[in-house]
């Protein structure tokens, strides 16, 4: 038995279209131009507050309205999952890992309420034994505290962290956990810079990569 901990956006689900729709609704309410899908993806990874900061800076929105803008973004974001999809093969991989007896956790910088909402929407709740979101603790990734908190709650070892971004790679490194990189997420073209134990391009390959990592650890 091992603790397999996952990032969410860009690793198990593609939420970028809904994040973009949320951002553009908030921007439109302030009379600002929309952002593109590529701009959206480039802003993802460090939580909603940082996303709104980057979005605001791109459109030169006044600092004085930031807190209200951030609250509005979060309000819309909670139910934004109409355009989100689970990556092909991810659901089957989670099921196979549970069937093998592993304990699964989620460590995401996405705020808790939209995390809970999207997990419920896709009926993913039952796969995870513990969830830490971007506002669950005072720290967020790449600080190792969220990943360490999930690992402690799962209570088994070894620990493997599965993610798609530089934020995830740095989190795993800081926590001393081997990192399994999904190369088709929101890596922002920084694959060569990321320290990882292994990679996969399709979720159908993920379980085999995890098994190989566990065999090496043993």
* Tokens 């956006």 -> residue: 9
The answer to whether 135 is a known catalytic residue is: no
Alpha-carbon gap, residue 159 to 178, rounded angstroms: 7
- DSSP code string of the chain: --EEEE--BTTTEE-HHHHHHHHHHHHHHTTPPP--HHHHHHHTTS-HHHHHHHHHHHTT--GGGHHHHHHHHHHHHTT--TT-EEPTTHHHHHHHHHHTT-EEEEE-SS-HHHHHHHHHHTT-GGG-SEEE-TTTSS--TTSSHHHHHHHHHH--SSEEEEESSHHHHHHHHHHT--EEEETTSS-TT-GGG---SEEESSGGGHHHHHHHHHHHH-
Based on its alpha-carbon atoms, the radius of gyration of the chain, rounded to whole angstroms, reads 17
Phi, psi angles (nearest 5°) of residue 195 = -75, 130
Catalytic residue numbers read 7
């Amino acid at each position: 038995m091992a603790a397999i901990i996952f990032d969410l956006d860009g690793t198990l689900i593609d939420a970028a279209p809904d994040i973009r729709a949320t951002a553009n609704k908030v921007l439109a309410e302030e009379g600002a131009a929309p952002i593109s899908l590529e701009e959206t993806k480039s802003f993802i990874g460090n939580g909603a507050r940082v996303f709104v900061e980057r979005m605001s800076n791109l459109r030169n929105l006044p600092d004085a309205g930031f807190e209200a803008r951030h609250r509005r973004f979060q309000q819309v974001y909670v139910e934004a999952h109409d355009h989100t999809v689970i990556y092909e093969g991810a659901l089957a991989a989670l099921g196979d890992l549970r069937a093998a007896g592993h304990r699964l956790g989620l460590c995401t910088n996405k705020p808790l309420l939209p995390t809970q909402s999207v997990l419920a929407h896709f009926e993913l709740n039952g796969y995870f034994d513990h969830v830490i979101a971007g506002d669950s603790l005072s720290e967020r990734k790449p600080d190792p505290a969220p990943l360490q908190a999930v690992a402690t709650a799962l209570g088994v070892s070894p620990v493997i962290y599965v993610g798609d971004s530089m934020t995830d790679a740095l989190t795993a490194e800081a926590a001393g956990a081997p990192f399994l990189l999904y190369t088709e997420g929101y890596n922002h073209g920084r694959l060569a810079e990321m320290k990882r134990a292994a990679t996969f391009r399709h979720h159908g390959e993920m379980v085999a990569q995890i098994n190989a990592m566990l065999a090496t650890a043993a």
